[in-house]
Amino acid sequence: MAREEYPDPQFERKNYRSLNGIWQFEIDNEKSGMQRGLLQKDLQMKIEVPFCPESELSGVAYKGDINCCWYKKRFTLAKKELEGRAVIRFGAADRTAQVYLNGHYLGEHTGGYTPFSFELNRYAAVGGNEVALVVCDDLRNGVPHGKQTDRDHSYGCFYTRTTGIWQSVGLEFTPENYIKRVRFFPNVAECRVEIEAATEGEGEVSAEVFYGGKPVGRGSAVSKGNCRFAVALSEKHLWEIGEGRLYDVRLTFGEDEVKSYFGLREVRYDGMRFLLNGKSVFQRLVLDQGFYPDGIYTAPSAEAFARDIGLARRSGFNGMRLHQKVFEPRYLYECDRAGMIVWGEYADWGVSHGDALRAGAFLAEWSEAVARDFNHPCIVTWCPLNEAWTEFANRNILRDAAFLKAVYRYTKALDPTRPCVDASGGYHTDETDLADFHCYAGSAELKKHISALEEGEVFPPNNYAEGDVYMYKKGMPVNCSEYGGIAFDAGGKMHDGHSSSGDVWGYFKESDAGAFAEEYCRQAEILLSCKKLSGLCYTQLYDVEQECNGLYLYDRSPKFGEALTERMAACMRMPAEIEKQ
């Protein structure tokens, strides 16, 4: 069985059993399965969960349209396991999932990127049980899908689809009274952490904090559903770039026990500078799409996350922009451990930014993503929207400023502790914590944009609609959150079998490795030398299918020789002008 590790170290219980592995599976594009009695019958195929049916690792490897599919899994429950709460947890299933136990309906969840769970006790039996899951997913229905292709093949910067279960599934057992969620609010200046807990039932919530196995603080409060209390820390260990110093936490509430952790750090902007624990840090980010040749959306192993982070660090980056996808919690855990900063993003492509009435459905899942990832110290910026210019389907429909404002305000209400960008690239509004632009035009055009920013007269073009009342506020922090995109074909290994034409795609191409490195270093030097830029994000860490902009191949093998790789990394590590201020 693959992916046996506990899926979310931020909220871990001992009484957990993985349901990953072989499930029954059947494609039901006519959506007639209920009428055909699939709820009572065995399904026709087998699939390896948590890998999507489009992936090789699933054992299905079907890349055609899947509008609806069924899953089934048999498992046993002991009498003791049903004395408290028995819960089935899904990390994510794309996109609308209906869940049944022993033929009885448990509930439904909409959203392809966030976790959901259902209690089993009402219909569970001691001994054998069967869970069934029906998942519907139609990318052409105005739903968020990120970089998943809406055609019958991958093209440009759109890749193989993901349908159904793509994160871990498991059973969890708790007492009747239990901890529902917890949030940590670190305070660097006072060397303490405030803990906010929500509970089912009343009683005392206790927290023991450890560093390196040594007790460094404890506290408690009585909860009548919610409570908040402070824990003084006897030792100060700051979470910093390259140093993921994490405090472990053991939470208890009656018979319930949860393991978690936090990092002692704070982030904010001071003028145009980004500060981590009060120190100026230039954000050297690299775009990570979160795709894998054999697993598509799902990494083949938890070790793959640490590998990708290691590639980024060796390339001179101090963080990642996790692009158009809500990544698995395990990835964020590895970033927490490594001291890698992260922009937390949502897969908003596919949603209409031109219709403010759609904001409610968007915010429903975005709020689940923010709640899931609130405690990760690596996340330093929320990025709910990407390139909100005009509609993909109709370029005459402009983004609705009310949509962007609603998303920004809601994000800040959910989490006032972090900066939020109204949109990465695209047409901005006047409500954001930082201005942001994309530039894929090469070093000469990038130099013009940066010169305009330095002079303070004109913000880089294509960031505000013609006649728009929303304009860049002088003195606001600025980030270039996408640039580069230099395509170099290192043999075509990365796109075979994925692109219908086999064409290599990129924003612009270089003919050889030396020319790639020259252009890469020129662009990095331009951005690092800007006194008014708080960060950058290079597109991208590795090739994805036909898109060959990566510093590594799709399988993460080296794309360039050791000398060129180190030359580019050294260039990215150069001190930024804004850090010297």
Q: Rounded to an integer, what distance in angstroms lies between the CA atom of residue 300 and that of residue 307?
A: 12
User: Measuring CA to CA, which residue among 538, 553, 557, 537 is closest to residue 504?
Assistant: 553
Please list, residue by residue across 304-331, b when 16 or more beta carbons sit within 10 angstroms of its beta carbon and e when fewer do.
Answer: bbbebbebbbebbbbbbbbbbbbbbbbb
Kindly tell me the burial class for residue 74, based on how many C-beta atoms sit within 10 Å of its own C-beta (0-12, 13-18, 19 or more).
exposed
Percent of the chain predicted with pLDDT > 70: 97
**Contacts (Cβ under 8 Å, ≥6 apart) of 118:** 87, 88, 99, 101, 106, 107
The kind and range of the H/E element at 94 are strand 93-94
**Residues with Cβ within 8 Å of residue 461, at least 6 apart in sequence:** 449
- Which of 299, 49, 286, 296 has its CA nearest to residue 159? 296
- The CATH superfamily holding the domain 281-580 is Glycosidases (3.20.20.80)
**Selection from 410, 400, 360, 408 nearest residue 383 by Cα:** 408
CB-CB contact of 298 with 166 (8 Å): yes
Alpha carbon of residue 472 to chain centroid: 28
Whether the CB-CB separation of 69 and 53 falls below 8 Å is answered with yes
Query: Could you check whether 21-167 and 281-580 share the same CATH topology?
Result: no
Look at residue 430 in the predicted model and tell me its pLDDT.
86
CA 453 from chain centre, in angstroms, equals: 30
Torsions phi, psi of 281, nearest 5? Answer: -130, 125
Look over the chain and give the mean of its residue pLDDT values, rounded to a whole number: 94
**Would you say how long the chain is, in residues?**
581
What is the structure's pLDDT at 495? 40
389-409: per-residue pLDDT in tens? 888 778 888 889 899 999 999
DSSP state of 410: H
Phi/psi at 474 (5° precision): -55, 130
**CB-based contacts of 311, cutoff 8 Å, min separation 6:** 541, 542, 551, 552, 556
Class for domain 178-264, per CATH? mainly beta
Orientation angle between helical segments 329-338 and 359-373, nearest 10 degrees? 50
* Tokens matching residue 232: 């003084």
Question: Which pLDDT belongs to residue 188?
Answer: 98
How far apart (Å, rounded) are the C-alpha atoms in residues 464 and 36? 53
Tokens 């612009």, residue?
A: 508
User: What residue ranges do the domains of the chain occupy?
Assistant: 21-167, 178-264, 281-580
Is 541 within 8 Å of 287 (Cβ atoms)?
A: yes
Tell me, rounded to whole angstroms, the distance of Cα 388 from its chain centroid.
19
Q: Position of tokens 């001071």?
A: 270
Cα separation values, 3 from 57, 135, 292, Å: 11, 21, 15
User: Which token pair is 355?
Assistant: 């219709």
Q: pTM (2 decimals)?
A: 0.96
List the chain pLDDT tens, one digit each, 581 residues. 689 999 999 999 999 999 999 999 999 999 999 999 999 999 999 999 999 999 999 999 999 999 999 999 999 999 999 999 999 999 999 999 999 999 999 999 999 999 999 999 999 999 999 999 999 998 877 889 999 999 989 999 999 999 999 999 999 999 999 999 999 999 999 999 999 999 999 999 999 999 999 999 999 999 999 999 999 999 999 999 999 999 999 999 999 999 999 999 999 999 999 999 999 999 999 999 999 999 999 999 999 999 999 999 999 999 999 999 999 999 999 999 999 999 999 999 999 888 888 888 899 999 999 999 999 999 999 999 999 988 877 888 888 989 999 999 999 999 999 999 999 998 888 899 999 999 998 999 999 989 988 887 656 666 777 777 777 777 889 999 999 999 998 865 444 333 334 578 999 889 899 999 999 999 999 999 999 999 999 999 999 999 999 999 999 999 999 999 999 999 999 999 999 87
What the block records as the tokens of 525 is 């030097």
Instruction: State the Cα–Cα distance between residues 332 and 9, nearest whole angstrom.
Output: 10
Residue 455: per-residue pLDDT: 85
Would strands 478-484 and 535-539 be described as parallel, antiparallel, or unpaired? parallel
Is residue 442 classed as helix, strand or coil in its secondary structure?
coil
**CATH topology classification for 21-167:** Jelly Rolls (2.60.120)
Strands 68-77 and 21-27, how do they pair?
Answer: antiparallel
The pLDDT of residue 323 is 97
Q: What is the pLDDT of residue 486?
A: 96
pLDDT of residue 460: 65
Residue 168 carries which DSSP code? -
- E strand or H helix at 541, and its extent? none
Q: How far is Cα 290 from Cα 322, in angstroms, rounded to an integer? A: 7
What are residue 435's DSSP bridge partners?
A: 478
